[in-house]
Protein backbone atom coordinates (compact mmCIF):
# COMPACT_ATOMS: atom_id res chain seq x y z
CA UNK A 1 0.00 0.00 0.00
CA UNK A 2 1.17 3.49 -0.77
CA UNK A 3 2.23 5.27 2.42
CA UNK A 4 0.20 8.29 1.42
CA UNK A 5 -3.42 7.11 1.54
CA UNK A 6 -5.45 9.99 2.85
CA UNK A 7 -8.87 9.01 3.98
CA UNK A 8 -10.51 11.32 6.49
CA UNK A 9 -9.67 9.02 9.38
CA UNK A 10 -6.05 8.72 8.32
CA UNK A 11 -5.78 12.49 7.94
CA UNK A 12 -7.26 13.06 11.38
CA UNK A 13 -4.88 10.50 12.81
CA UNK A 14 -1.97 12.23 11.07
CA UNK A 15 -3.00 15.63 12.41
CA UNK A 16 -3.39 14.20 15.88
CA UNK A 17 0.04 12.54 15.70
CA UNK A 18 1.67 15.74 14.42
CA UNK A 19 -0.02 17.70 17.20
CA UNK A 20 1.32 15.33 19.82
CA UNK A 21 4.82 15.64 18.40
CA UNK A 22 4.51 19.42 18.46
CA UNK A 23 3.54 19.32 22.10
CA UNK A 24 6.68 17.36 22.94
CA UNK A 25 5.24 13.83 23.15
CA UNK A 26 8.27 11.60 22.61
CA UNK A 27 6.20 8.46 22.03
CA UNK A 28 4.36 10.18 19.19
CA UNK A 29 7.64 10.97 17.46
CA UNK A 30 8.76 7.38 17.94
CA UNK A 31 5.48 6.23 16.36
CA UNK A 32 6.18 8.39 13.32
CA UNK A 33 9.65 6.90 13.14
CA UNK A 34 8.44 3.32 13.40
CA UNK A 35 5.79 3.89 10.73
CA UNK A 36 8.02 5.43 8.10
CA UNK A 37 11.69 4.86 8.89
CA UNK A 38 11.99 1.39 7.32
CA UNK A 39 10.80 2.56 3.90
CA UNK A 40 12.59 5.89 4.11
CA UNK A 41 15.80 4.09 4.99
CA UNK A 42 15.57 2.03 1.82
CA UNK A 43 14.72 5.12 -0.19
CA UNK A 44 17.70 6.98 1.25
CA UNK A 45 19.92 3.97 0.58
CA UNK A 46 18.90 3.81 -3.06
CA UNK A 47 19.18 7.55 -3.51
CA UNK A 48 22.64 7.73 -1.92
CA UNK A 49 24.03 4.33 -2.83
CA UNK A 50 25.65 3.30 0.45
CA UNK A 51 24.38 2.18 3.84
CA UNK A 52 26.59 4.70 5.60
CA UNK A 53 25.07 7.56 3.66
CA UNK A 54 21.60 6.13 4.27
CA UNK A 55 22.29 6.10 8.03
CA UNK A 56 23.21 9.78 7.97
CA UNK A 57 20.38 10.76 5.67
CA UNK A 58 17.75 9.00 7.73
CA UNK A 59 18.89 10.72 10.91
CA UNK A 60 18.85 14.08 9.18
CA UNK A 61 15.41 13.41 7.71
CA UNK A 62 13.84 12.67 11.08
CA UNK A 63 15.54 15.58 12.77
CA UNK A 64 14.22 17.80 10.01
CA UNK A 65 10.78 16.28 10.46
CA UNK A 66 10.94 16.96 14.20
CA UNK A 67 12.00 20.53 13.59
CA UNK A 68 9.43 21.22 10.90
CA UNK A 69 6.42 19.24 12.08
CA UNK A 70 4.52 22.46 12.77
CA UNK A 71 4.48 23.09 9.02
CA UNK A 72 2.33 19.97 8.53
CA UNK A 73 -1.21 21.21 7.93
CA UNK A 74 -2.88 18.00 6.75
CA UNK A 75 -3.17 19.02 3.09
CA UNK A 76 -1.54 15.69 2.27
CA UNK A 77 -0.90 12.65 4.42
CA UNK A 78 1.87 12.79 6.96
CA UNK A 79 3.60 10.10 4.86
CA UNK A 80 3.57 12.28 1.73
CA UNK A 81 4.77 15.26 3.75
CA UNK A 82 7.59 13.19 5.21
CA UNK A 83 8.59 11.73 1.83
CA UNK A 84 8.68 15.22 0.35
CA UNK A 85 10.92 16.41 3.11
CA UNK A 86 13.09 13.29 2.72
CA UNK A 87 13.44 13.58 -1.03
CA UNK A 88 14.24 17.27 -0.87
CA UNK A 89 16.97 16.53 1.63
CA UNK A 90 18.38 13.61 -0.35
CA UNK A 91 18.41 15.65 -3.55
CA UNK A 92 20.05 18.58 -1.78
CA UNK A 93 22.78 16.34 -0.40
CA UNK A 94 23.36 14.63 -3.73
CA UNK A 95 23.38 17.94 -5.54
CA UNK A 96 25.99 19.36 -3.23
CA UNK A 97 28.11 16.24 -3.37
CA UNK A 98 28.83 16.53 -7.10
CA UNK A 99 30.51 13.16 -7.25
CA UNK A 100 32.61 12.30 -10.21
CA UNK A 101 30.58 9.19 -10.89
CA UNK A 102 27.40 11.20 -11.02
CA UNK A 103 28.90 13.74 -13.35
CA UNK A 104 29.87 10.91 -15.68
CA UNK A 105 26.40 9.44 -15.49
CA UNK A 106 24.74 12.78 -16.05
CA UNK A 107 26.91 13.46 -19.03
CA UNK A 108 25.64 10.27 -20.59
CA UNK A 109 22.05 10.66 -19.45
CA UNK A 110 21.20 14.30 -19.45
CA UNK A 111 17.55 15.14 -18.99
CA UNK A 112 15.87 15.70 -22.31
CA UNK A 113 18.17 13.36 -24.18
CA UNK A 114 16.56 11.11 -26.76
CA UNK A 115 15.42 7.66 -25.58
CA UNK A 116 18.06 5.00 -26.01
CA UNK A 117 17.94 3.01 -29.21
CA UNK A 118 16.17 -0.34 -29.37
CA UNK A 119 17.99 -2.93 -27.33
CA UNK A 120 17.97 -6.70 -27.42
CA UNK A 121 15.33 -8.38 -25.25
CA UNK A 122 16.18 -8.26 -21.60
CA UNK A 123 14.62 -11.40 -20.21
CA UNK A 124 14.49 -11.83 -16.45
CA UNK A 125 15.83 -8.86 -14.52
CA UNK A 126 18.38 -9.50 -11.81
CA UNK A 127 17.57 -7.41 -8.75
CA UNK A 128 21.26 -6.84 -8.12
CA UNK A 129 21.71 -5.50 -11.62
CA UNK A 130 18.59 -3.42 -11.25
CA UNK A 131 19.92 -1.86 -8.06
CA UNK A 132 23.14 -1.06 -9.86
CA UNK A 133 21.24 0.47 -12.76
CA UNK A 134 19.13 2.60 -10.42
CA UNK A 135 22.34 3.96 -8.94
CA UNK A 136 23.37 5.14 -12.40
CA UNK A 137 20.24 7.13 -13.04
CA UNK A 138 20.28 10.92 -12.97
CA UNK A 139 18.92 12.23 -9.67
CA UNK A 140 15.55 13.43 -10.89
CA UNK A 141 14.82 10.22 -12.77
CA UNK A 142 16.02 8.13 -9.87
CA UNK A 143 13.81 9.95 -7.40
CA UNK A 144 10.69 9.56 -9.54
CA UNK A 145 11.43 5.92 -10.34
CA UNK A 146 12.05 4.98 -6.71
CA UNK A 147 8.88 6.67 -5.54
CA UNK A 148 6.68 5.21 -8.28
CA UNK A 149 8.02 1.80 -9.18
CA UNK A 150 9.70 0.85 -5.89
CA UNK A 151 7.63 2.61 -3.23
CA UNK A 152 4.30 2.40 -5.05
CA UNK A 153 3.23 6.04 -5.09
CA UNK A 154 0.93 7.18 -7.89
CA UNK A 155 2.17 9.80 -10.32
CA UNK A 156 0.08 12.49 -8.68
CA UNK A 157 1.68 11.76 -5.32
CA UNK A 158 5.13 11.60 -6.87
CA UNK A 159 4.43 15.02 -8.31
CA UNK A 160 3.41 16.33 -4.91
CA UNK A 161 6.48 14.89 -3.24
CA UNK A 162 8.95 16.12 -5.83
CA UNK A 163 7.20 19.38 -6.60
CA UNK A 164 6.65 18.49 -10.24
CA UNK A 165 3.55 17.92 -12.36
CA UNK A 166 1.90 14.54 -12.74
CA UNK A 167 2.89 14.54 -16.41
CA UNK A 168 6.51 15.23 -15.55
CA UNK A 169 6.44 12.35 -13.10
CA UNK A 170 5.17 10.01 -15.83
CA UNK A 171 7.84 11.25 -18.18
CA UNK A 172 10.63 10.87 -15.61
CA UNK A 173 9.60 7.36 -14.62
CA UNK A 174 9.36 6.23 -18.23
CA UNK A 175 12.72 7.78 -18.97
CA UNK A 176 14.18 5.98 -15.98
CA UNK A 177 12.86 2.62 -17.15
CA UNK A 178 14.28 3.18 -20.62
CA UNK A 179 17.67 4.05 -19.20
CA UNK A 180 17.66 1.08 -16.89
CA UNK A 181 16.85 -1.13 -19.84
CA UNK A 182 19.67 0.40 -21.85
CA UNK A 183 22.07 -0.15 -18.96
CA UNK A 184 20.98 -3.73 -18.40
CA UNK A 185 21.35 -4.67 -22.05
CA UNK A 186 24.68 -3.01 -22.72
CA UNK A 187 27.97 -4.95 -22.68
CA UNK A 188 29.20 -4.99 -19.07
CA UNK A 189 32.95 -5.10 -19.54
CA UNK A 190 33.14 -1.34 -20.00
CA UNK A 191 31.46 -0.12 -16.86
CA UNK A 192 31.45 -3.04 -14.46
Partner 1 sequence: MSCADYNESIADFVDGTLDPARHRALERHVEGCAACRALVADLKSIQAAAFTLDRLELPGHLWNAVQARIPEEGKPSGARLLAFPRTPAAMGWWAAAAALVLATTLGIYTVMRPENPHAGDTAAVASDPADAGDVVASVQAELQAAEEHYDKAIQGLEQIARSESGALDPQVAAVLQKNLSVIDQAIGESRTALQQQPASADAQDSLFDAMRSKVALLQQTVELINEMRKGNQAEAGRLIQGLNQ
Taking the C-alpha atoms of residue 172 and residue 176, their distance in angstroms, rounded to an integer, is: 6
Is 1 a binder of partner 1 (CB under 8 A)? no
Residue count of the chain, please give it.
192
76/56 Cα distance (integer angstroms): 26
Q: How many residues bind partner 1 (CB under 8 A)?
A: 56
The HSE-up count of residue 48 (CA atoms within 13 Å, CB side) is 24
134: burial class by Cβ within 10 Å (0-12, 13-18, 19+)? buried
Q: Which of 8, 120, 187, 192 binds partner 1 (CB under 8 A)?
A: 120
Q: Which of residues 122-161 bind partner 1 (CB under 8 A)?
A: 122-127, 130-131, 134, 145, 149-150, 152, 155
Q: At what angle do helices 8-22 and 78-97 cross, to 10 degrees?
A: 60
Q: Which stretch binds partner 1 (CB under 8 A): 76-84, 96-104, 157-165, 173-181?
A: 173-181
Closest CA to 162 of 146, 176, 143: 143
**170: contact with partner 1 by CB under 8 A:** yes
Binding mask 29-58 for partner 1 (x = CB under 8 A): xx--x---xx--xx--xx----x--xx--x
The contact set with partner 1 (CB under 8 A) reads 21-24, 26, 29-30, 33, 37-38, 41-42, 45-46, 51, 54-55, 58-59, 62-63, 66-71, 115, 118-127, 130-131, 134, 145, 149-150, 152, 155, 170-171, 173-174, 177-178, 180-181, 184-185
Amino acid sequence: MSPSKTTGDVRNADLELAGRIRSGDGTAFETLYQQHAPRLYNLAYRMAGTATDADDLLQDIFLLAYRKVSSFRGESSLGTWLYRLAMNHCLDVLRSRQSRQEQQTDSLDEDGAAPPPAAPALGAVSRIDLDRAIGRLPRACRAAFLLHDVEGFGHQEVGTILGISEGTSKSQVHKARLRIRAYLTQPRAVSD
